């Protein structure tokens, strides 16, 4: 905070690190420097590179402080352990020490500026141990300036050290890089940034919600300075008490929970609901392009959860986003997620350059919702090869008796087809034959054919019902059936289950209503207690645990784990043959159940 009569210091300057212990997320560099200082292997030049705000200039000052650290009678050697201020520390950290020369290479980029350095390096430092030259944004030096520095940089006097900082390492000539010890400063992880921001808000006596901290950390993209600048702005915006809504409004972000709702609506093909959710976000100030970017980020999150299940434990993500993302990753195929990602990338570009961003975003969402249940090219090819392509394509002619069914969004996780879907019996009334046209004779008006009856569907098992809900593209209900229903008894038209603790109270009524509406038959759904089987998700997790346990017991796998300490088995996938990747077969149209073809007949 500002002192009496003094100017306010922004948080990025007030809490700038003053020692290596204060640096966040740069442990590899600190370890290297510590070992070098302890063994006396101190290089003549250092190159610090990284994105903006990760601490390049600050690290250069701390390094200069460590090179010149001095406490009379206690420490008189270079070190990175600086528990208290030394003789030169305050002046170095404030950038006013006579022997630590900081130069902005962007405005001092000519050969004349380098000549001044070459002339001055001959003189020993006035009071410090080393004369240190810090050149910020060194990639801005001209070609002549770089060439003029080479000789001095390779063989400087023993009392001179160079520290360079740049965000564009590729623009630095390799002849300069080869003469420096290079350190790549990393982006700071979100959880580390959240911890840093939390400690600073505690010192500033500011109340802030955890979700608001997570938003600021995500917006900073690994930059400590950016995160502190955003926190400064949020404190002013919220007047000392910062909520997630304040930060969302300040940054023009979309509500993350509504982003998940929008994703579910798109993947279920509920176009009207998706457009309404986008309009709601737009009305409260969210940029349509930002909404699509957040949607793409959540698509990436779900895809990571599917490929790397352990990533769902990332504490930087909100709890609701982790839970719902994990459930969606189990219910959706990798092909569908990849297609949505590609369409969103293209859509973000369109919205960013459009004169009507909301309309452009609407059209992007419509395309994604329309394509949600379409087969990918390889799936369509396999459908054609298996003779089931007509399940999702227009009928070849009016005499075709193949029913038009919606294709599933993709294979269930693991690549195996849904269980027993092909055992559902579908009965459909015959379609009237086409009227033959007679040349030169007016065709008599034919009466309209009777409306076809809805197919009667019989579910042999509870898993059939869950797969059928997937065919209906109701992802929330499918997830609820897999994760919140412990089966007690199942018959066609009757379901009794024990709900999990997190199941909504109206789950049984919702199941009964939707299944009855879809099948045209009355379903009774009852809630029982204490006798339910494990949920489908729990059974699937148990199977994975058993597969991992069996794999761990395999001698070859055990030898690999022993050879690589710390390695662990993340997932086990077994493919007996290529048929494991075949999509769910189309349901055959049968006019008479007694005339159904035997398995294997065409």
Residue ending a domain, choose from 339, 371, 403: 371
Mean pLDDT of the chain: 79
Distance CA 523, CA 517 (A): 9
Do both 75 and 195 map to the same domain?
no
**Mean pLDDT, residues 70-75:** 88
Do both 302 and 216 map to the same domain?
no
| Domain count within the chain | 4
- The H or E element spanning position 366 is helix 357-371
Do both 84 and 109 map to the same domain?
yes
Contact between residue 375 and residue 383 where contact means Cβ atoms under 8 Å apart = yes
Beta-strand runs (E) in 185-271? 207-208, 241-242
Top pLDDT among 332 and 365 is at 365
pLDDT of residue 150: 92
Distance CA 367, CA 353 (A): 18
The least confident of 79-83, 537-541, 557-561 is: 557-561
Do both 201 and 142 map to the same domain?
no
Any domain includes 377? no
Distance CA 349, CA 292 (A): 10
Q: By C-alpha distance, which of 347, 392, 345, 380 is closest to 366?
A: 347
3-state secondary structure of 161: strand
Q: By C-alpha distance, which of 365, 481, 357, 368 is closest to 418?
A: 481
Top pLDDT among 588 and 385 is at 385
Please state at what angle helix 536-553 crosses helix 555-563, rounded to 10 degrees: 80
CATH code of the domain in which 234 resides: 1.10.8.60
Distance CA 227, CA 234 (A): 10
Beta bridge partners of 482: none
Distance of CA 601 to the CA centre of its chain: 47
Q: Which residues contact 66 (CB under 8 A, 6 or more apart)?
A: 20, 33, 37, 78, 79, 80, 82
Any domain includes 263? no
Do both 27 and 137 map to the same domain?
yes
Top pLDDT among 382 and 450 is at 382
Any domain includes 133? yes
Q: For the chain, first and last CA: distance in Å?
A: 81
Task: Convert the pLDDT of each residue in 304-322 to its tens digit.
Answer: 998 888 887 776 677 777 8
3-state secondary structure of 341: helix
CATH code of the domain in which 305 resides: 1.20.272.10
Beta bridge partners of 427: 590
Beta bridge partners of 133: 101, 162
Contact between residue 301 and residue 317 where contact means Cβ atoms under 8 Å apart = yes
Q: Report the greatest alpha carbon distance in the chain.
A: 119
Any domain includes 399? no
Task: Convert the pLDDT of each residue in 366-375 to its tens digit.
Answer: 999 888 767 6
Domain that holds residue 234: 190-251
pLDDT of residue 573: 75
Tokens encoding 537: 């998700």
Do both 553 and 502 map to the same domain?
yes
Do both 37 and 166 map to the same domain?
yes
Do both 29 and 101 map to the same domain?
yes
Task: Convert the pLDDT of each residue in 246-295 to its tens digit.
Answer: 887 777 665 677 888 899 888 888 889 999 989 988 887 778 988 899 89
Any domain includes 67? yes
**Mean pLDDT, residues 487-515:** 86
Q: Provide, for the chain, the percentages of residues in helix, strand and coil under a 3-state DSSP scheme, each rounded to the nearest 5.
A: 50, 10, 40
Q: By C-alpha distance, which of 47, 286, 294, 89 is closest to 173?
A: 47
Do both 170 and 224 map to the same domain?
no
Any domain includes 448? no
Top pLDDT among 91 and 454 is at 91
Do both 121 and 177 map to the same domain?
yes
Any domain includes 260? no
Do both 17 and 157 map to the same domain?
yes
Top pLDDT among 203 and 389 is at 203
Q: In angstroms, what is the C-alpha Rg of the chain?
A: 33
Beta bridge partners of 497: 487, 527
Tokens encoding 251: 């940054």
Question: Which DSSP state fits 143?
Answer: H
User: Own/partner pairs for 104-109, CB < 8 Å, 24+ apart?
Assistant: 104/136, 104/137, 105/135, 105/136, 105/137, 105/138, 105/139, 105/140, 105/141, 106/136, 106/137, 106/140, 109/140, 109/141, 109/142, 109/145
Top pLDDT among 457 and 599 is at 457
Stated pTM of the model: 0.55
pLDDT of residue 144: 93
CA distances from 502 to 129, 323, 332, 533 (A): 65, 12, 22, 16
- String of b and e for 370-397 (b: at least 16 CB within 10 Å)? ebbbebbeebbebbeeeebebbbeeeee
Given the structure tokens 């784990």, which residue do they identify? 561
Written in H, E and C, the secondary structure of 26-82 is: CHHHHHHHHHHHHHCCCCCEEEEECCCCCCHHHHHHHHHHHHCCCECCCECCCCCCC
In the chain, % of residues over pLDDT 70: 79
pLDDT of residue 376: 65
CATH code of the domain in which 32 resides: 3.40.50.300
Tokens encoding 332: 């959706």
Task: Convert the pLDDT of each residue in 566-592 to its tens digit.
Answer: 788 887 776 655 444 444 444 444 344
Beta bridge partners of 490: 495
Task: Convert the pLDDT of each residue in 391-437 to its tens digit.
Answer: 444 433 333 333 333 333 444 433 334 443 333 433 333 333 343 34
pLDDT band of residue 544 (cuts 50, 70, 90) is confident
User: What's the number of CA atoms in the CB half-sphere (13 Å) around residue 172?
Assistant: 24
Q: Beta strands 160-166 and 45-49: pairing type?
A: parallel
Distance CA 126, CA 91 (A): 14
Any domain includes 150? yes
Do both 363 and 233 map to the same domain?
no
Tokens encoding 362: 């609407």
**Mean pLDDT, residues 7-23:** 86
pLDDT of residue 601: 46
Tokens encoding 465: 């019902």
Task: Convert the pLDDT of each residue in 176-223 to its tens digit.
Answer: 999 999 999 888 888 888 889 999 998 888 888 888 888 888 888 888
Contact between residue 424 and residue 463 where contact means Cβ atoms under 8 Å apart = no
Distance CA 358, CA 318 (A): 27
């Amino acid at each position: 905070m500002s002192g009496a009569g003094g100017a306010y210091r922004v948080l990025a300057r007030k809490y700038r690190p003053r020692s290596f212990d204060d640096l966040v997320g740069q442990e590899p560099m600190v370890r290297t420097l510590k070992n070098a200082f302890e063994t006396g292997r101190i290089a003549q030049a250092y190159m610090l590179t990284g994105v903006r705000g990760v601490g390049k200039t600050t690290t250069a000052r701390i390094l200069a402080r460590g090179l010149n650290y001095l406490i009379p009678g206690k420490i008189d050697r270079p070190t990175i352990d600086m528990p208290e201020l030394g003789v030169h520390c305050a002046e170095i950290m404030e950038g006013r020490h006579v022997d630590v020369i900081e130069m902005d290479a962007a405005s001092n980029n000519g050969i004349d500026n380098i000549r001044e350095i070459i002339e001055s390096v001959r003189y020993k430092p006035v009071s410090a141990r080393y004369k240190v030259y810090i050149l910020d944004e060194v990639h801005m030096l001209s070609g002549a300036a770089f060439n003029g520095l080479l000789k001095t940089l390779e063989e400087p006097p023993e009392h001179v050290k160079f520290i360079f900082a740049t965000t564009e390492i590729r623009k630095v000539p390799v002849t300069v890089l080869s003469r420096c010890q290079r350190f790549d400063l990393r982006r700071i992880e979100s959880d580390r940034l959240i911890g840093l921001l939390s400690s600073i808000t505690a010192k500033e006596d500011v109340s802030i919600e955890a979700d608001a901290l997570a938003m600021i950390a995500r917006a900073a993209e690994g930059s400590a300075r950016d995160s502190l600048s955003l926190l400064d702005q949020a404190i002013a915006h919220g007047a000392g008490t910062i909520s997630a809504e304040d930060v969302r409004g300040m940054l023009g972000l979309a509500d993350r929970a509504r982003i998940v709702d929008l994703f579910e609506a798109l993947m279920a093909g509920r176009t009207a609901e998706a457009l309404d959710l986008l309009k709601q976000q737009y009305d409260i100030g969210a940029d349509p392009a930002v909404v699509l970017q957040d949607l793409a980020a959540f698509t990436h999150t779900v895809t990571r959860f599917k490929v790397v299940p352990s990533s769902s434990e990332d504490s930087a993500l909100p709890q609701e986003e982790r839970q719902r993302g994990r459930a969606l990753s189990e219910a959706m195929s990798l092909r569908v997620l990849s297609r949505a990602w590609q369409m969103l990338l293209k859509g973000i570009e369109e919205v960013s350059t459009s004169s009507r961003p909301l309309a452009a975003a609407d059209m992007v969402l419509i395309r994604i919702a329309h394509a949600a249940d379409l087969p990918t090219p390889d799936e369509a090819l396999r459908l054609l090869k298996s003779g089931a392509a007509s399940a999702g394509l227009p009928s070849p002619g009016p005499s075709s008796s193949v029913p038009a069914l919606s294709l599933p969004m993709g294979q269930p996780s693991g690549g195996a087809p849904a269980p027993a879907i092909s055992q559902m019996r579908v009965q459909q009334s015959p379609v009237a034959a086409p009227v033959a046209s007679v040349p030169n004779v007016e065709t008599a008006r034919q009466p309209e054919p009777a409306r076809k009856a809805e197919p009667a569907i019989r579910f042999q098992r509870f898993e059939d019902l869950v797969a059928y809900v997937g065919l209906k593209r109701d992802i929330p209900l499918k997830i609820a059936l897999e994760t919140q229903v412990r089966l007690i008894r199942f018959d066609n038209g009757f379901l009794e289950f024990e709900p999990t603790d997190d199941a909504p109270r109206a789950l049984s009524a919702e199941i009964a209503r939707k299944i009855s509406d879809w099948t045209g038959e009355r379903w009774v759904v009852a809630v029982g207690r204490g006798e339910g089987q494990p949920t489908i998700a729990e059974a699937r997790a148990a199977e994975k645990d058993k597969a991992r346990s069996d794999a761990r017991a395999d001698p070859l796998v055990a030898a690999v784990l022993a050879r690589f300490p710390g390695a662990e088995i993340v997932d086990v996938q077994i493919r007996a043959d290529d048929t494991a990747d075949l999509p769910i077969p189309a349901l055959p149209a049968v006019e008479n159940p007694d005339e159904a073809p035997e398995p294997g007949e065409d």
